[in-house]
Amino acid sequence: MPNPQSWKIYLDTCCLNRLFDPQIQGRIRRETEAIDTILTRVNTAHWVWIASSVLEFEIIQTPDLEQRANLEDILRFARETILVDTTEITRSEVLESLGFKHYDALHIACADSGGVDVLLTTDDRMLRLA
C-alpha cells in the first residue's frame, strides 16, 4: 500500500449519505466525523478521491432535492470518475454471485478498476461480506 499521504480513495454512496443522517447515535457521529476528515483531505489535495458513474447515478436517485444538491456539490471534489463498462459489469456479476447487492458490487468493481487503495463504506452488510 502506498504512503497514506497519497492514497486513492473510493467512498460509496452510503458514506456520502451518512453526512445527512440524524447524528443521534455515537457511531453515526463518529462515521460522519471520519467522512468529513476524509473529504477535507481530498479537498486539500492530500488524497485522491475516485468516484464512479454508479455513484453519480445513485446520487441522482436521491429523493430529497436539497440533499441531492448537496451530494452533487460534494461529488465535484472527486478527481476522477470511473465509467461503468463491460469490465466493471463482468466483475460486478461475479461479486453478486458471492452475495453482494447489485450497486455494492458495481462500486467494488469501479474501485478496483480505478486502482484505489481504500474503498470506504458505512454499509454493514457490504462490510460483512467483504
List pLDDT tens digits, range 5-60. Answer: 678 999 999 999 999 999 999 999 999 999 999 999 887 777 899 999 999 999 99
Three-state secondary-structure class, residue 64:
coil
- Binned at pLDDT 50, 70 and 90, residue 67 comes out as very high
- Provide the residue ranges of all domains of the chain, joining segments of one domain with +: 11-123
Q: What average pLDDT does the segment 104-116 reach? A: 97
Q: pTM of the entire structure?
A: 0.91
Helix, strand, coil % over all residues of the chain, rounded to 5: 60, 10, 30
How far apart, in whole angstroms, are the C-alpha atoms of residue 7 and residue 100?
25
Q: Of 88, 19, 17, nearest to 59 (Cα)?
A: 17
How far apart, in whole angstroms, are the C-alpha atoms of residue 118 and residue 50?
10
- For the domain bounded by 11-123, which CATH number is listed? 3.40.50.1010
Q: How many CA atoms lie within 13 A of 8 on its CB side?
A: 16
